[in-house]
């Protein structure tokens, strides 16, 4: 048996890449199905290659082998995301455009909470900077200062920030997540032109992008590392999250632990709250506004 990684899954078939970058078309062994061990993109597996072709295809996008291999075993996952549905992720790259469509800052914070809850590293990629003037970019930078995560300003059109973002991906399994139309596929094509991912325009009528990525797919990067390109989405609900867990998912609050007057301070309207006192100074006001909104949402869910 060989060890490999599931790079695509569709219709009961799985494209599996081995450690040398060869691709094989496989089915899951019956035992896996009976145990309801559903396979997903990013899963590490043990598999038997097709009997009629042991060489596989030297490409991660097309499986040339005419035979079908068998996935025998699922190696335990380090983590599992439900949206996007992918396993064994190292970092989340949140991609938002600054114009056409405009940035959904609240969705950014929701995705960052997802990353924190799964103990993933996270970075923010603000794309389409070529559509903004210098003054507009300066206003954006001022609005998000200070920000507790690395921020990349990029353009797939003129190449701004592409090299720096590419360096961030080396050695990691990264998930590109964000709404349709923000330029996830365009960025990946700029990072590695040979990927030839389909790119779609933004609708002039609804000001949103059309889905060009139909399912999650693990892409192997020439410079090292892998990326999961995912279908866009514009809504992310909190599932199973309790209100008392939320403060711990805002890392900028960590330095104020134990400094509030009340031990179980929720940082809303309590007197002598160290967090509230720092809003607009060492804490970003927009991020704190998202925190209050999310806390209200979680408290209402408990009723």
Q: What pLDDT score was predicted for residue 230?
A: 73
Cβ atoms of 63 and 96 within 8 Å: the answer is no
With cut-offs at 50, 70 and 90, classify the pLDDT of residue 34: low
Residue 173: name the closest of 70, 87, 300, 266 by CA: 87
Using CA atoms, how far apart are residues 119 and 24, in angstroms rounded to an integer?
Answer: 31
> What phi and psi values does residue 218 have, to the nearest 5 degrees?
-85, 120
Using CA atoms, how far apart are residues 59 and 186, in angstroms rounded to an integer?
Answer: 20
Say yes or no to pLDDT of 204 above 50.
Answer: no
Using CA atoms, how far apart are residues 9 and 15, in angstroms rounded to an integer?
Answer: 6
Using CA atoms, how far apart are residues 241 and 283, in angstroms rounded to an integer?
Answer: 23
Using CA atoms, how far apart are residues 234 and 211, in angstroms rounded to an integer?
Answer: 11
Highest mean pLDDT among 6-20, 143-157, 191-205: 143-157
User: Residues 62-75: pLDDT tens digits?
Assistant: 454 568 999 999 99
- What is the CB neighbour count within 10 angstroms for residue 134? 8
Residue 175: name the closest of 86, 237, 245 by CA: 86
Q: What pLDDT score was predicted for residue 209?
A: 41
- Total-model pTM: 0.84
Of residues 239 and 126, more confidently modeled = 126
Question: Could you report how far apart the first and last alpha carbons of the chain are, in Å?
Answer: 52
User: Residues 118-162: pLDDT tens digits?
Assistant: 899 999 999 999 999 999 999 999 999 999 999 999 999 999 999
Q: What pLDDT score was predicted for residue 208?
A: 45
């Amino acid at each position: 048996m060989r060890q490999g990684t599931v790079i695509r899954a569709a219709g009961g078939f799985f494209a599996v890449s081995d450690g040398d970058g060869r691709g094989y078309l496989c089915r899951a062994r019956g035992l896996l199905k009976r145990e309801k061990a559903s396979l997903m993109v990013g899963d590490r597996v043990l598999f038997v290659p097709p009997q009629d072709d042991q060489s596989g295809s030297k490409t991660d996008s097309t499986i040339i082998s005419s035979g079908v291999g068998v996935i025998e075993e699922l190696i335990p996952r380090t983590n599992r995301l439900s949206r996007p549905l992918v396993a064994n992720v190292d970092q989340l790259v949140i991609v938002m455009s600054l114009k056409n469509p405009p940035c959904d800052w609240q969705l950014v914070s929701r995705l960052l909470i997802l990353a924190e809850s799964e103990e993933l590293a996270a970075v923010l990629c603000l794309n389409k900077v070529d559509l903004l003037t210098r003054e507009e970019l300066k206003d954006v930078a001022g609005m998000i200062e200070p920000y507790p995560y690395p921020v990349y300003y990029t353009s797939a059109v003129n190449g701004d920030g592409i090299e720096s973002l590419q360096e961030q991906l080396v050695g990691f399994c990264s998930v590109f997540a964000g709404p349709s139309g923000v330029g996830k596929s365009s960025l990946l094509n700029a990072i590695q032109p040979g990927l030839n991912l389909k790119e779609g325009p933004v609708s002039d009528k609804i000001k949103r992008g059309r889905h060009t990525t139909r399912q999650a797919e693990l892409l192997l990067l020439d410079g090292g590392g892998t990326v999961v390109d995912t279908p866009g989405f514009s809504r992310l609900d909190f599932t199973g999250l309790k209100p008392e867990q939320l403060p711990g998912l805002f890392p900028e609050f960590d330095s104020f632990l134990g400094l509030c007057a009340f031990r179980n301070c929720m940082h809303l309207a309590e007197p002598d709250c160290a967090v509230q006192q720092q809003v607009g100074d060492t804490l970003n006001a927009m991020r704190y506004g998202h925190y209050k909104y999310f806390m209200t949402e979680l408290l209402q869910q408990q009723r």
